[in-house]
Amino acid sequence: MGTKGTTIVGMDVKELLGLLYKAFSDEWLAYYQYWIGSKVVRGPNKEAVIAELTLHATEELNHSVLLTTRIIQLGGTPPLAPAEWMKLTNCGYEAPTDPFVKNVLEQNIKGEQCAITVYNKLLGITKDKDPVTYNIVLTILQQEVEHEEDLQALLEDFELMMRRK
């Protein structure tokens, strides 16, 4: 733990760590939901959907890396067992039991919308309190906004394709 780096945090560090553990759990679940979705997805325009889901999976994994770095800087310990993710998650996990493209896209859009709400809240909580965490959260939020738009564009393509038949 960086002692000086921690003293500049103008909020309860334990409380902040609790929020970061929850976000960290969301990211691992989002990673897996995208990753497994990219493997099982079926239906029209599958190749484009697979490419986007695969890329998003790696980006979610990177979010967990950013959060872990900050958690450790603050003297915390990230959840050490996957079982903890389901207990801590804000956004949950939706198994792609129906692998049709429309369903997989809708499930992931829902996840992104939840992530946007969570990070926007975290941005408000850390604003003027912890600039380092704020900056990480802002970076992640920007990418979640991009993810939502990417998926909605793919869903729109799917719907346009269906109308032509």
Binding site residues, Mg ion, CB under 5 A: 150
Residue 111: CB minimum distance to Mg ion, A: 14
150 binds, among Mg ion, Fe ion, none (CB under 5 to 8 A by kind): Mg ion
Residues 23 and 88: their CA atoms lie apart, in Å, by 8
Rule CB under 5 A: is residue 60 a binding residue for Fe ion? Answer: yes
Q: Which residues pair with 100 in a beta bridge?
A: 42
Residue 112: CB minimum distance to Mg ion, A: 10
Residue among 19, 22, 52, 63 that touches Fe ion (CB under 5 A): 63
Q: Phi then psi for 95, rounded to 5 degrees?
A: -65, 135
Picking from 109, 118, 160, the residue whose alpha carbon sits closest to that of residue 137 is 118
Residues 159 and 112: their CA atoms lie apart, in Å, by 20
Picking from 34, 82, 63, 35, the residue whose alpha carbon sits closest to that of residue 122 is 63
Residue 114: CB minimum distance to Fe ion, A: 10
Between 130 and 148, CB nearer to Mg ion: 148
Residue 116: CB minimum distance to Fe ion, A: 9
Rule CB under 5 A: is residue 70 a binding residue for Fe ion? Answer: no
Tokens representing 85?
A: 């993710």
